[in-house]
Amino acid sequence: MIQEKRRYVQSEIEIKVRFSEVDAMRVVWHGNYLKYFEDAREALGLEQNLNYLNIAALGFFVPIVHSEIDHLWPITYGSKAKVIVRLLDTRAAKIIHEYEVWDLDENKLSARGETVQVFVSVERKLELNIPEFFESWKTGLKWIED
């Protein structure tokens, strides 16, 4: 089976694990990985000049309709971590991000995941076609191919 080449835009952030993010074992509580994903996704949007407020001003919302996380290595309180986010290019009317969370102290992959967002009008109508503003925005990106 031949696998298609992927195109994506990538960004990353570094974080230091705070006490409020860990459980009784002093490891990052599993639900906080979604917050880390969102922080990285927001940073990517700011870097690429398309954030949630811009999208809302254009008459759309982009709710998450699917998320998944594989937890591979525990990150502990006080550790430094790096979150890598990739916006995947797709022909569908959705936004797909992939994530990796790395424990920088141990140099291990802690988690990987994905989120899928769709376009919804301010009237809460699902958009089945890619909005023109988003298609136009994508043409200005510097895509990476693998």
How does pLDDT run along the chain (146 residues), one tens digit per residue?
666 789 999 999 999 999 999 999 999 999 999 999 999 999 999 999 999 999 999 999 999 999 999 999 999 999 999 999 999 999 999 999 999 999 999 999 999 999 999 999 999 999 999 999 999 999 999 999 98
Q: Where are the domains of the chain?
A: 8-145
| DSSP code per residue over 35-71 | HHHHHHHHHHHHHTT--HHHHHHTTEE--EEEEEEEE
> Sign of torsion, CA 84 128 142 50?
negative
Cα(87)–Cα(107) distance, integer angstroms: 23
CATH superfamily ID and name for 8-145:
Hotdog Thioesterase (3.10.129.10)
pTM: 0.94
